[in-house]
Amino acid sequence: MIPYGRQDISDEDIAAVEAVLRSDFLTQGPAVPRFEAAIKAATGAEHALAVNSATSALHIACMALDLGPGDWLWTVPNTFVASANCGIYCGAEVDFVDIDPETYVMCPKALEAKLVAAKGAGRLPKVIVPVHFAGQSADMAAIGALARAYGVRVIEDASHAIGARYQGAPVGNCAHSDICVFSFHPVKIVTTAEGGVATTNDAHLAQRMELHRSHGVTRDPSLLQEDSPGGWYYEQVALGYNYRMTEMQAALGASQMTRLDAFVARRNVLAARYDRLLADLPLTRPVQNPDSYSAYHLYPIQVEDRARVFAYLRENGIGVNVHYIPVHTQPFYCARGFARGDFPAAEAYYDRAISIPLYAGLTEADQDRVFEVLRAALQASKVGAISRWISPRIVRAAPASFFASS
Supply the residues annotated as catalytic. 188
Q: How many residues does the chain have?
A: 406
Where does 157-285 have alpha helices with state H? 203-212, 247-257, 260-277
Phi-psi region of 380 (alpha: psi -120 to 50; beta: other; left: phi over 0): alpha
- Rounded-to-integer distance, Cα 158 and Cα 173, Å: 11
Neighbouring-strand partners of residue 368: none
Q: Residue 302 belongs to what H/E stretch?
A: strand 299-302
The residue among 256, 338, 348 whose CA lies nearest residue 42 is 256
The residue among 356, 293, 286 whose CA lies nearest residue 136 is 293
For helices 247-257 and 31-43, the axis angle rounded to 10 degrees is 30
Neighbouring-strand partners of residue 96: 75
Neighbouring-strand partners of residue 50: 197
The residue among 81, 49, 77, 80 whose CA lies nearest residue 63 is 49
- Rounded-to-integer distance, Cα 99 and Cα 106, Å: 4
Asked whether 314 and 4 are in contact (CB, 8 A), the reply is no
Asked whether 353 and 306 are in contact (CB, 8 A), the reply is yes
- Rounded-to-integer distance, Cα 353 and Cα 51, Å: 31
Neighbouring-strand partners of residue 95: 74
DSSP annotation of 259: T
